[in-house]
Amino acid sequence: MKEKILARTPLFKGLPEDEINQLSETLRVLEIPPNTVLFQEGEIGDRFYIIIQGQIEVIKAIGTPEERLIGLRGPGEFVGELSLINRAGLRTASVRSLSPAHLWEMSHEEFDDLLHRQPQMTFELINVLSERLTNAHDSTIKDLQEKNFELTQAYEELKAAQAQIIEKERLERELQVAFEIQTSILPQTLPELEGYDFGALMVPARAVGGDFYDIVPLGSNKVGIIIGDVADKGVPSAIFMAQTHALLYAMANIDTTPTQVLLHVNDLLLKIGESSLFVTVLYGVLDRTTNEFTYARAGHELPIMINADGETEIAPYEQGQLMGILDDLVLDEQIISCPPGGTILLYTDGVIDARHSNGESFGMERLLDVTRKIHPGSAQDQCDQLWQILCDFQSKDAQEDDVTIVVVKSLN
């Protein structure tokens, strides 16, 4: 059996029968379990091995991220011969058993003696090494082609990712500019009106939003108060918001009633161009001499009134239609009083639509309840407290809609 395996080994197939018999009697048998490293790349080698049974892996860079299988050897094949030919005697690869294996072991001296006795074996050795070199060369070329393809693909992906990063940074810069422009539209400081304190707050759900507010001085005894909410969020609603705010601000400075202001602005919005967007608005005039707030409401959220004792009620209302859609606009026209020590709360639907992680909305009942609790303090304190309550209610969940709060507090 040993003789037949040796005779089938490419390196020994040309040897005489007596040489084969001698090898079978003198070669030592080595048994190794699976997944056993026989020798490692870079070690000094003084023997090589002929496989009787099992499979052996030939591996470069074993145990590193670059580990690569360069060949499998089975019965009749051999490993470790290059260290016997290499002058430095270093192993050029690592060898590991893939399965239980039986090997013949031949030392350097035995190998040299065999070559002296059978010099023609040198040609067989050259043929085997040449074939292995060719296979290794082909494998290397294939690996290089695959690596080149992977690098090309990675490079293209990197270029695409870089382009996306550049585009993202550009959009972020543009959104920041848009945010700064939108913020500049809103009042930087609130006007003063004798006997009254004002507070306001707007927090967009995105970089820019569709909510807006303003408090416009109308002489020494009156202010115009604007609050609005454009449908949808993002840049388109922010542009529509800027248009609406500019028109309202311009019309508020003209000696007209709140109803006339909203009707005229609605006509202008329709003439500017067709848009799928619409806006809810409440515009009113606060007169300190009468303590009356006269307003027109175009589909906006209802004001909440709080008296000096903290009792709350929703303002009376009629039908009020959205602006930017209909030519013949119907508005809710009301006059409410702000009693001494009382407060009027104006807000957008982002307040009552704020959601808890369980899906529950903040709602009108909760708003009325917390409004009683935050009644003491300045108008701005009340805005800030209400916003903090909303943040706590939403917890870590993302804000779904823009939030705007305006508080008008009587000091008399």
Q: pLDDT digits over 29-60, tens only? A: 899 999 999 999 988 888 889 888 899 999 98
Q: Which of 72-76, 132-136, 194-198 ranks highest by mean pLDDT?
A: 194-198
- Which whole number is the average pLDDT over 65-73? 87
**Higher-confidence residue: 196 or 173?**
196
**Higher-confidence residue: 221 or 10?**
221
Domains of the chain: 2-119 (2.60.120.10), 187-410 (3.60.40.10)
Among all chains, which residue has been given the structure tokens 């085997």? 128
pLDDT interval class at 26 (50, 70, 90)? confident
Q: pLDDT digits over 305-347, tens only? A: 999 888 999 999 999 999 998 889 999 999 999 888 899 999 9
- Which whole number is the average pLDDT over 221-244? 86
129 sits in which H/E element = helix 121-185
pLDDT value at 134 more than 80: no
pLDDT interval class at 367 (50, 70, 90)? very high
**108 close to 84: Cβ distance less than 8 angstroms:** yes
* CA dist., res. 215 & res. 219, Å (int): 12
User: Residue 408, by phi and psi: left (phi above 0), alpha (psi -120 to 50) or beta?
Assistant: beta
Phi and psi torsions of 111, nearest 5°: -65, -45
pLDDT of res. 376:
78
pLDDT of res. 77:
85
pLDDT of res. 174:
62
Task: Calculate the alpha carbon distances from 45 to 84, 112, 173, 216, 263 in Å.
Answer: 7, 14, 64, 93, 97
**Higher-confidence residue: 332 or 240?**
332
pLDDT value at 25 more than 90: no
**251 close to 264: Cβ distance less than 8 angstroms:** yes
Q: Global pTM?
A: 0.61
pLDDT value at 226 more than 90: yes
Q: Which of 4-18, 323-337, 365-379 ranks highest by mean pLDDT?
A: 323-337
Q: pLDDT digits over 261-316, tens only? A: 999 999 999 888 656 789 999 999 999 999 999 999 999 999 999 998 889 999 99
Q: pLDDT digits over 175-224, tens only? A: 666 666 666 678 888 999 999 999 999 988 876 778 899 999 998 899 99
pLDDT of res. 334:
96
- Which whole number is the average pLDDT over 69-82? 85
Q: pLDDT digits over 109-132, tens only? A: 888 888 888 888 777 777 777 777
Q: Dig out the tokens for 253 from the structure.
A: 């400075």
Task: Calculate the alpha carbon distances from 95 to 40, 66, 91, 196 in Å.
Answer: 6, 16, 10, 89
Q: Dig out the tokens for 174 from the structure.
A: 């543009």
pLDDT > 70: percent of the chain: 93
**Average per-residue pLDDT in the chain?**
86
**Higher-confidence residue: 254 or 94?**
94
For helices 108-117 and 121-185, give the axis angle rounded to 10 degrees: 130
pLDDT of res. 283:
97
DSSP assignment of 290-327, as one string? Answer: TTEEEEEEEBPPPPEEE-TT--EEEPP----PPBTT-S
**Higher-confidence residue: 294 or 79?**
294
For helices 379-394 and 363-373, give the axis angle rounded to 10 degrees: 130
pLDDT of res. 239:
81
Phi and psi torsions of 339, nearest 5°: -65, 160
Among all chains, which residue has been given the structure tokens 């040449």? 130
